[in-house]
Structure 1
Amino acid sequence: MIIKVKVPENKMSASIILEKAGDDDKVTPKEIVDALNEAGVKFGIDYDVINRICQNPEFFVPLQVAVGKEPKNGEDGRIEFVNFEKEKESDKKNIDFREFPTHKRIIVRKGQKIATVYEPTEGEDGINVFGEKIAGKVGNKVDIKLGNNVELKDNSIYSKVDGILIVDLNENFIDVGEVLEIKGDVDYSIGNIDFPGEVVITGDVKPGFVVRAKKDIKVEGIIEAATVISLEGNIIVSGIKGRDKGIVKCSEDLNVRFAENANLEAKNLIFKDLLNNCNVKVSESIISENGRGVIVGGEYIAGVKIEAEEIGSEIGIPTRLEVGIPPHLLEERKLLHTQIMLDKQNAEKLMKIVKQYKLLKEKKVDIPNDKKQLFVKATTTLLNIKEQLEKNKKRLDEIEEMINKIKVDAKVVARKIIYPGVEIMLQGLKYYINKPLNKAVLRIENDNIIVGGYKE
C-alpha cells in the first residue's frame, strides 16, 4: 500500500491518496499517521476520519485527514454613542405636532458624555498542520476626528459646551455646535426650538411656534404671531407681525425693522421704520435708527428714553408713552393695586358673614353644624386675607418709595413731529398732546413736564 500525503500551499490542511501495491488493499491507522508524521504533519490530525478510511478505504482520491486552526482577527475599534432617545408618554388627545421634529435634534450640555471609544482587540493565533503558529491580526483602530467643542478623556468623548450634536459617520467626525442654523422657516417640519446657544433662522417663524435660546437669536424673515425668547442675548429680526399673540422678548437689545400688533420686551428696542399698535416694555430706551422711525398706536414703556422721527399720526390714533419708571416696577405696582382692591372687596363680604355669625351666637340661636363650618371657614379665610393685604400694602409702599428715588433724565424725543392723540407719562406726570409739536423734546424740570426743541 502506497500512502501519498498532499499539503496545499497555505498549509492549513493535509490529505492522503491511497494507491494499491499489488493485491494489498489494507491500510492501518498507524501506517497513515506514520506517513503524515514523515511528511511533517503533526497538528489537527482527525483520528476518527483515519479509522473510517481504514475500515472502508478509497483509492486514488484525496482524503482529508488533518485541518489546521485558522487565526482569528481582532475586532476593529468602534464608537458607541450614548442613547439620547427619551421616551415620552403622551396623551393622544393632546398631541402638539409642533414638538415632534425636536426629537431629530440632539442637544447636549457641557460635560455631558457623548460616546465611548472602544480600542481594537488582539487577534487569536492559529496553527497550520505542520504545527507552525499563524499570528492573528489586531483589529483596525477607529480613526476619530474631533471638533473644537468636544474632548476625549479615558476613552469617552465629552462635550465642552452646551449645544447641538454634530456627527458625520462617513468621516467619524464629532463636534458640538454652539449655533443652531435653521435654513428656512420654523414650521411643522422644524418644530419648536429650545437651544442653549445661538439660533440663526434664514426664513420666518410661523404662527404658534416657539423659539427659545440662551444666547442671540437672528431671524432673517418675519416673526408671525409666535413666541421668540432670548434668555441672555439679543434678538435681530427683519419684521414682526404679532396679531396680538405671542411675544418677542430678550434680556439685551431687540433690533427690528418694523413691528405690528406685537408684544415686545427688551433692555433696549432699536427699530428702523415702524412700530404700529405694539405693546412694548424696555428697561432702558426705545430708539429709531436709519429709517422712517414712526411710532403710532399702542403702549410704549421705557425706563429712560423714547426717541423716534414721528410719534402718533395725523388722524390722532391713540398712542401712549410712559418713560422714567422701569416696566417691572410699573407691572408689579399695577398687580398689587388690583390684588389689594380684590382683597378689600372679599374682606368686606367675609366681614358681613362673620358679624352675622357673632350676632347669632349672642342671641344664642341654635346654628346647624354645616352653617357653623361655613362660619369657621369664613373666619379663617378672612384672617388670611387680612394678613396678605398687609403684606401687599407694605410691598406697594416699598415700590412707591423705589419709584420716588429714581433719578434719570427721562425724556421723549420726536426728531420731526409728535401728533395730537399722544399721551405721555414722565415719571408719573401726564402730558397730553393736543396740537402738533415739531422737533420736540419732552422732559421733567422742577417737577413739571416742559417741551423743548430738538437739535440734530
Structure 2
Amino acid sequence: MKDFYSSPGDRRASVSRRSRAETRPPIVESEAFLDNDGKQVPAPFPPHFDPETAEGTHSVVLGPRRDDGTLQIDIPEGNLEAHADFLPPYGEGQPLTPEYIAAMLERLGIVYGIDWTTIQDTALECNLNRKTVRSVVVARGDSPVDEVREYFEIESGFKEWPRLPDGDVPRVDYREISPFVVVTKGQPLARLVKAVKGREGKDILGNVIPMPVKRPEGMTAGPNARVSGEEIIASCDGRLVQKGTELAVEEVLAVKGAVGYKTGHIAFPGDVIIDGNVADGFKVYSGGSIVAKQTFDATDVVAKKDLIVAGGIIGRGRASIRVGGSIRTKFIQNCHVACRGPILAGMAVINSQIYTLQILDLGDKGRIVGGEVYAVHGVRAAGIGSESGKCTRIHCGVDFTVQQDLDRLNERMRIASMKRAKIRERLESEEDEAKRATLLQFDERLEKDLTESGNRIGNLLGNVDADEKAIVEISGEVSPGTIIEICHIALVVENPLKKVRFRLDKLKGRLTHESM
C-alpha cells in the first residue's frame, strides 16, 4: 500500500507500507519538487535512501529541493515504537526543523508517546554536524501488562530433587534416595499465589491495546488433601501423588516391583505393599503394616503393626526385624526378630533369634532348627532340633523385654564393680591428697550407680516371669540336645521325644513332659 501526503508550498511526504509476505519494500516515488535552479522535476529518492535495503514501514520526507534534509521513519509491527533515521541536508539544502518533523509525525498518525526532547537534540546534531543519525526512537507507546488470576502453586520442595553442592561431590548412598514423596498430616502441599493486577496499553497511533488476562492452571485438592486458608494441606500422613493438577495423599504405599536402587529405602507412615522382593541392604520402615507378596530378604525391617509375607523371611547379615503387631510367613531364616504379637510360620524357623510377647506357632508341619526362641505364652511346632545335634534353645513364660533390661543392668553392675575394684587398689597406694579426693568422688558415684541398678533389678525380677502356665507342644520329635526352659527352669533333652507337651510344675520346681 502506498500513501502520499502533500499540500501546496509544503514539504512532501511519501509513506510506503509492505506486508510480511514481501521480501523488500515497494519502490516509492514522491511528487515533483524543485531542483537547485528552481525548476520543477520528478522526484527520485533522496541520495540517503536505498529502497533495496530498507525494511519495515517507512516514511520518506523530502524537502522542496533535492538536497534538503530528509527523515526516514520505521514503525515496527505492533505500533509500539517509531524509529527514525535523521539524514542531513547536502550543500545548500534546507535543514530539518521541529515544525517540519511535527507535521510529518502528525501525517503518519503518530500522536502518543512522542519524545520531543530526543527529536530536537537529534535534529540539531544532524544539522550542525551534517551527520546521519540512525535508529532513533522518536515515539514509544505503553505495552499492556498481563493480569494474572490467583492460583495454587505446588511447594518448591516437591518440584525437583535437591541439588548436590558445587565442587567436590560427596559420597552418596543411593539407597537413601527415594522417588516417593512422603508428607505428614497438616503439611503444606501448595501455596496460593496472589493475583497480579494488569493494565491496558496504548500504541503510538493512540489506539488502546486490550489488557491480556492469564489464568494459570493451578493445583487443586484431591483425596486426603484440603484447602486451609492460603494453602492446600495434607489431611493425613502418606505419599503425595500428583495427578494432573490434582494433589492427593495416599495412605497406602504400593511398590509395583522390587525394593532396590529404583526405590531406595522405604520409610512410610502408612501401610506398605511390596509386589517384588527386597534387595540386600535395603531398609523397610512402616508406620502401619507391611505386606510382601514374595520372599522377603530382610536387612532392617520395622512395622508398627503387622508383617505379612507370602513367601519366607531370609535375613541378610545382621538382619533385624521389629514388629509391633503379629508376623505371618512361611519360614524365618537367619534373622533377629522382635515381635509384640504372635508369630505364625508354617514351615520352619532356622538359625534365628526369635522374641515374642505372645506365642510362636509353626502348626503341625513347621520345625525349629538351631537358634534361640523367647515366647512368653509358649511354642507349638512339629519338631525341635536336628539330627546333626545343633543346639536349639526354647525360653517360655519370660517377658523378653524385662529380661533384656535385666541383662543390661547386670552388665552395667559388672562394669561398675570392676571400676570400683581398680579405684580401691589405687587408693591403697595413693599418697597425694588431691588425687585421693578425686578417686573417692569416683568411688562414691560408682557406689550410688550400683545401688540404683540393684534396686531396679529388684523391681524387675517380679515381672520377668510373665506366664507360669506357658506350654511347649511338639506334635513330632524333639531332638537330643534341645534345651526347654519355662520361667527360668530348664530341661535338657537327652533322648528323642515324640508327641510331647512340656509344662512347669511350680511346686516341684521342675519341668514335666507328657505324651500328647
Question: Shorter-normalised TM-score: what interval?
Answer: 0.7 to 0.9
**Alignment gaps of 5+ in structure 2:** 1-5, 18-27, 35-39, 41-62, 65-95, 128-136
TM-score, length-normalised on structure 2? 0.69
| TM-aligned CA deviation for residue 313 of structure 1 | 2.5
Q: How does 1:344-359 map to 2 (within 5 A)?
A: 344-357=417-430
Q: How does 1:269-418 map to 2 (within 5 A)?
A: 269-289=343-363, 292-357=365-430, 367=431, 369=432, 372=433, 374-403=435-464, 406-407=466-467, 409-418=469-478
| TM-aligned CA deviation for residue 402 of structure 1 | 2.1
Question: Structure 1, residues 122-154: CA drift from partner, whole Å, max 9, x if none?
Answer: 432123567454431321142434321222223
Distance 1:392 1:32, change over 3 A: closer
2:86 maps to none
Aligned-pair identity in percent equals 22
1:449 maps to 511
Instruction: Give the whole-Å Cα distance in 2 for the aligned partners of 1:285 and 1:293.
Output: 14
| TM-aligned CA deviation for residue 30 of structure 1 | 6.8
> In structure 2, what residue type is equivalent to 1:163?
G
Equivalent residue for 1:432, pick from 469, 473, 492: 492
Higher mean C-alpha deviation, range 18-27 or range 262-271: 18-27
2:196 maps to 121
- 1:251–1:266: 8 Å Cα contact kept in structure 2? yes
What number of residue pairs does the alignment pair up?
420
Is residue 339 of structure 2 the alignment partner of residue 266 of structure 1?
yes
Instruction: Give the whole-Å Cα distance in 1 for the aligned partners of 2:100 and 2:415.
Output: 114
Instruction: Give the whole-Å Cα distance in 1 for the aligned partners of 2:292 and 2:405.
Output: 31
Q: How does 1:120-199 map to 2 (within 5 A)?
A: 120-127=195-202, 131=206, 133-168=208-243, 171-199=244-272
**Alignment gaps of 5+ in structure 1:** 9-16, 57-63, 358-366
Question: Structure 1, residues 149-200: CA drift from partner, whole Å, max 9, x if none?
Answer: 22222332222222333235xx223223333333333334433333222223
Instruction: Give the whole-Å Cα distance in 2 for the aligned partners of 1:164 and 1:280.
Output: 32
- 1:244–1:263: 8 Å Cα contact kept in structure 2? no
- 1:225–1:244: 8 Å Cα contact kept in structure 2? no
Instruction: Give the whole-Å Cα distance in 2 for the aligned partners of 1:35 and 1:189.
Output: 71
Equivalent residue for 1:423, pick from 470, 478, 483: 483
Higher mean C-alpha deviation, range 440-449 or range 417-426: 440-449
Higher relative contact order (CA 8 A, sep 6+): 1
> In structure 2, what residue type is equivalent to 1:240?
I
Question: Structure 1, residues 349-375: CA drift from partner, whole Å, max 9, x if none?
Answer: 332332344xxxxxxxxx4x5xx5554
Root mean square deviation, CA, Å? 3.9
3-state SS, counterpart of residue 212 of structure 1: strand
Query: Whose helix proportion is higher, 1 or 2?
Result: 1
- 2:398–2:467: 8 Å Cα contact kept in structure 1? no
3-state SS, counterpart of residue 213 of structure 2: coil
| TM-aligned CA deviation for residue 436 of structure 1 | 3.1
3-state SS, counterpart of residue 402 of structure 1: helix
3-state SS, counterpart of residue 242 of structure 1: strand
| TM-aligned CA deviation for residue 329 of structure 1 | 1.1
Instruction: Give the whole-Å Cα distance in 1 for the aligned partners of 2:252 and 2:489.
Output: 45
Question: Structure 1, residues 308-328: CA drift from partner, whole Å, max 9, x if none?
Answer: 222223443211111111111
Question: Structure 1, residues 8-47: CA drift from partner, whole Å, max 9, x if none?
Answer: 9xxxxxxxx9964886965997799789889997545676
Distance 1:288 1:376, change over 3 A: same
Question: Structure 1, residues 418-454: CA drift from partner, whole Å, max 9, x if none?
Answer: 3322211111221222333333222234444332444
TM-score, length-normalised on structure 1? 0.77
> In structure 1, what residue type is equivalent to 2:428?
K
3-state SS, counterpart of residue 177 of structure 2: helix
> In structure 2, what residue type is equivalent to 1:101?
I
